[in-house]
Amino acid sequence: MAWFSTSELRFARWVAELNYTNPFTAERLELERQALGKDFETEPHPYWAMVHGAGDSTRGNVQKLTAKTERLMESVRRKIVEGRASSGEEQILYDDLVLYLLFYQFFDHWRRLHGGGDSREAGQHWESYSQQFDHWLLLPGVQLPSRNEKAHLFALFYQVFRAFFNIFDCVAGHSRAAAQLRSQIWQSIFTHDLRRYRRSLYRNLHEVTTLVTGPSGSGKELVAQAIGRSRYIPFAVKERRFEASAVDSYIALNVSAFSANLIESELFGYAKGAFTGAEGNRAGWLETCSGCGTILLDEIGELPPMTQVKLLRVLQNRQYQRMGESKLRDFHGKIVAATNRDLKQEIHQGTFREDLYYRLCADVVTTPALAEHLQDDPAAIGELVRFIAKRIAPEEDVQLSQQILQWIDQHLPHDYHWPGNIRELEQCARNIMIRNHYQPALSTEAVGKREAGCLARQIEQLELTADELLSRYAQIAYAQTGSYKRAAERLGIDRRTLRARAAPAPHKRADHDGAIETSGIRRTKRTT
């Protein structure tokens, strides 16, 4: 007699597939609907959409599925203990249903670990998990597929939990663009085939570089952070702890904030005497990054040509050398790069290596502009403002978000396209919180068009000398690119010449090449 009846078999297949489905797609809710039938609670969106909350385990459909699965599993387990015969498919389905049940039975455990539980707490969770694992999978007379993967599955469950909430923490809103972005991030972490990831890819997926592209202010660093903090971290059974901290293993470097020599020393480290002032050996970030770690290279398009060559070697061979040293060292972590520049155009202009680009573009995540979110769902502005208010004033978020939304509704055009994207919306919220006022800045495109129109009129009336004409042209190039380096490349002149011609008056913005802007680096302890 079989383990499952015909109706139970259909239910088991649907639930088993839930383990391996991208939770940010419509497919996930469709599987829940099929499994629950008339008991399915209609969701407000065709995909999971949550800004903040206690967690998806509180969703009615998940609670119903977990309870129904547990009842079925108790029944099937009794049949196994009694020695009932089964097909190969039934064994696989039973095994997959155990995985579903273990994940949701220990949902609060994963939550406490994710919230900063100490190593002792991780050991306690392991003991509870281990007992349930043995209860369901170490049964007489049957060799279930997952029986020898206890520690691996414990680590994988914790990774899935971290990934789910890290993604929701970096992408707020209910728009279709937000849902698609969440789905992209999930695939960057697990690929589209979670079964394959579980079998083997968890060991070496970090060797694939992720490139995050999108307009300035659209949340590229948050996406990189979600990916970096959602890496697979093995669980050391003897020590009763995870082998690394998900938070401490993520390092963010802003390439544009460093000079050419400094970015090399930061990345690769240096040997004593490598250059003037190198009085001892120093490990770079590539060296201190563990196998569970991730390095974000923000503004990768600003990387100097010589450093591009050295980075290419890291991505090709996973090897590098400290400055002033011939010894080859291995890089064990993951690289995430981010840029708002068109790297294909940079290749055409000769400022970015084509071979490096093709090492970066195996996995590309594109962050949408805020206007894309609002075009699909104008109400998304409310979700985002509430998300921002919660971050900047957690004890006043309800009242503050209402104040911000009211001010925006009364003072900004309804079709305002937020050229600074989510970063601009956040600064708008802070301005309104402090002064109850916000003055939108002109976008670089608007600045460029305004200045170009003014210059055309002055040329027509012969109002400018040759020197003044060059200075105005340099100023327009700088206004449109936001960088002395890029403006100089566009005009075909030396950067120092352009800077002298386009040097901003005190009221203009600071140079984004890093002369004024401070580093975006997030430091962890380094050793020599």
The Cα diameter of the chain in Å comes to: 99
Q: What is the pLDDT of residues 221-253, one digit of tens each?
A: 999 999 999 999 999 999 999 999 988 899 999
313 contacts: CB under 8 Å, gap ≥ 6: 319, 320
372 contacts: CB under 8 Å, gap ≥ 6: 175, 177
Structure tokens at 484: 């002395």
Supply the mean pLDDT for the chain.
87
Q: What is the pLDDT of residues 382-431, one digit of tens each?
A: 989 998 999 999 999 999 999 999 999 988 888 788 988 999 999 999 99
* Bridge partner list, 363: 210
Structure tokens at 2: 């079989």
Structure tokens at 369: 């502009």
DSSP 519: P
262 or 183, which is more confident? 183
- Tell me the C-alpha distance between 13 and 2, whole Å: 15
Provide the pLDDT for residue 399. 95
* Bridge partner list, 320: 329
* φ and ψ of 146, to 5 deg: -100, 5
- The single-letter code of the amino acid at 68 is K
pLDDT interval class at 58 (50, 70, 90): low
* φ and ψ of 217, to 5 deg: 85, 10
DSSP 323: B
| Residues 419 and 452: beta-carbon distance below 8 Å | no
CATH topology of domain 220-366: Rossmann fold (3.40.50)
- Residue 472 vs residues 152, 465, 501: alpha-carbon distances, Å: 62, 10, 8
Closest CA to 102 of 134, 133, 57, 135: 133
- Measured over the CA atoms of residue 102, residue 105, residue 111 and residue 117, the dihedral's sign is negative
Where is average pLDDT lowest: 80-89, 179-188, 427-436, 462-471?
462-471
pTM for this predicted structure: 0.82
What is the pLDDT averaged over residues 59-65?
90
